[in-house]
Amino acid sequence: MSEDASNTVATVATLQNGGEAEYEAFKVEQRGIELIPEDERPMRPSDLFWLWAGAIWNVEFLVYGALIVSFGLSFLQAVAAILVGNVFYVLLGIASIQGPETGTTAFGVSRAPFGRNGNRIPSLFNWITQVGFEIEGIVLVVLVAEAMFHRGGITAGTGLKVGLIIAAVAIQFIMPFLGHATITKVLRYLSFVFIIVFVIMAILVLPHVHLSTYHKSASWAIWTTAVVLIVSAGGLGWTENGNDYSRYLPRSTSKAKTITAATLGGAIPSILLELLGAAAFIVSPKVTAVTGVPSSFASWFFWPFLILALPQLFAINTLDLYSSGVTLQALGIPVKRWGAVIIDTIVAGAITALVIFKGNFYTDLSGFLDYIVVWLAPWFAIIFVDYLLRHGRYDRYALLEGHGGVYWRNGGINWRAVISLFLGMAAAMMWIDAAFYVPSYTGPLSSITSGADFSWVLGMIVGGLAYWILSYRSVPSEITRYSSQDAKL
């Protein structure tokens, strides 16, 4: 065993005998990608369910439902896209089962197929993705605050906008800085409040939805683009976060319960909110912007809605900011988890200012959601195929070794996984339709199929199949080399 692995074992042993790390809400979590000992895993599957539900009961998902109708879909087409797209929350469930087994984060686990150094590539992609979602959330917070000031007769000038950005960033920083236990507890209770808000919105909107007067229909190609948005904003788009939040579940937790908790925690609120958003668009097309959502409701609901929208936006952004921090650690940046949160907060705040003053937010958002599946789909497929090939067994100590170990391979890089990732990304780019985004691009297969977008499907198939072909012998052989110390954690 390497010196790094020996140090890991010693640290784990210390913690199991009453070390300083504790899983406690409203106390700064010291854990990052480090292995979580069994006696520090008090989480239950129901906690995982409410964590995801608390994040997804969110106005953002109402806007996603309205956004796909704005593409020109009929209401029934939108319903079909929402139902089909949200089936893939099962991918989030599948992406959560390695956390309890290994006790580390998503991109700690990702070192198994990619190697410590090879894993820097998808980790960088994920860090950029997470920061992108953070920026989206902070921008929406600022826009909501601007709308509230405007309603009060105050125009948001440069000084006020800068102040709102600083305030939003400062508030957003709090929960990710405190960590996993705080996030789990707060989101559980916020979810109950958000459910009540959803019921009120539904009561206000549904009586005004008259489908008989709404006559639109989009092509099959446009419908597939809508599905891509739902999939990337939902089940597939959260896979890179899954193990970050499930790793505090005991190792003995049933895989079926883990999958069910994460899948339903995300899918139920996502489906209901996106259906309501699609219905609200028929009442008022302004609902495609968060600040325009109240136009679909009674005038008295403006203030209650926007005031409650703020904690919703902070809640969902918390997951992204927390995950970007542990991803920064997986990149190899020598910083504590809470230090990584500080770095990412500063970066997200600075780029948010650029978007507020220079960007075209909703166009940028749609393009961002379309392009992230290019790397995310093949990465998830590789992680899943690798899990199957090794029968769900990992050398947990080796995941954290700085040098050597079963996952070191060729200088810390498993070229089989890296090649498979880029083959999957190339395949995804062959069938993507991003003609209306920046940068504008339409893949050759998309052109042949009149603009259909199956980038995420093709990326998963090619990336996963390539990894299986290249690794179906080498990965199972690694199991026999696992350290005997693994069973002691």
* Predicted confidence (pLDDT) per residue in 168-180, tens digit: 999 999 999 999 9
pLDDT at 346: 95
Residue 467 lies in a domain: no
Query: Residue range 97-114: average pLDDT?
Result: 96
pLDDT tens digit sequence for 32-67: 999 999 889 999 999 999 999 999 998 889 999 999
Alpha-carbon distance 384 to 361, whole Å?
Answer: 33
Residue 203 lies in a domain: yes
Structural domains of the chain, count: 1
Q: In this predicted structure, which of 171-180, 203-212, 345-354, 358-367 has the lowest mean pLDDT? A: 358-367
pLDDT at 362: 59
Residue 36 lies in a domain: no
Q: In this predicted structure, which of 141-150, 183-192, 210-219 has the lowest mean pLDDT? A: 210-219
Query: Residue range 234-239: average pLDDT?
Result: 93
Q: How confident is the model at residue 488 (pLDDT cuts 50, 70, 90)?
A: very low
Q: How confident is the model at residue 88 (pLDDT cuts 50, 70, 90)?
A: very high
Residue 166 lies in a domain: yes
- Domain of residue 150: give its range: 41-362
pLDDT at 151: 87
Q: In this predicted structure, which of 73-77, 113-117, 187-191, 303-307 has the lowest mean pLDDT? A: 303-307
Distances (CA, A) of 251 to 37, 40, 44, 255, 392: 10, 11, 11, 9, 12
Alpha-carbon distance 377 to 262, whole Å?
Answer: 18
Alpha-carbon distance 38 to 33, whole Å?
Answer: 15
What DSSP state is assigned to residue 421?
H
Provide the residue count of the chain.
489
CATH code for the domain of 102: 1.10.4160.10
Chain centroid to Cα 79, Å, comes to 23
Q: In this predicted structure, which of 70-79, 191-200, 455-464, 475-484 has the lowest mean pLDDT? A: 475-484
Residue 76 lies in a domain: yes
Residue 146 lies in a domain: yes
pLDDT at 294: 80
Residue 53 lies in a domain: yes
Residue 348 lies in a domain: yes
